[in-house]
Structure 1
Amino acid sequence: MIQTFYRQNKTELLLIKLFDRFHNIQTVSIKPYEKRQEIILETQQEFIPLAEYLKLPKIAIELNKYCELYTTK
């Protein structure tokens, strides 16, 4: 879905998806281990690069911090 929005140059939708993920990663600790790992991997592969592409380095850093925090648990 992110790739589709990117190709269509739908920046507003990309921002909505990014901030939805930002909220979801903050609450990822309540998810089962396998689902948590899936969310973390997707965040690292898709959403951190998206934040960097959208020139939101602070969001990318925060997403990475949450990924690291919950990867070690």
Structure 2
Amino acid sequence: MISFVFGCWAGYFVITELGKPVDAIQVCYADLQDEATKTREIEALLECLEELNLPSGKILTLSIEDHFSLKGRMIHF
């Protein structure tokens, strides 16, 4: 099941299985070549992952394909 979540991680899609969060996805149309925007999106996703106790999450963009580990969480673009 896919839920659109409002709250401290407003705008995230949270994938659940049997009512338990298993993935968080942020969709970002903004230009992530701008370092301030990229940092904002990553920090917001990390906050969501920590709150939901998830090991990884995704930021969907038009321009970036990458992945890396930060603060013990895997971030996929």
When normalised by structure 1's length, the TM-score is 0.38
Larger helix proportion, structure 1 or 2? 1
TM-score (norm 2): 0.37
Question: Going by fraction, where is strand more abundant, 1 or 2?
Answer: 2
User: Whose RCO is larger (CA < 8 A, sep 6+)?
Assistant: 1
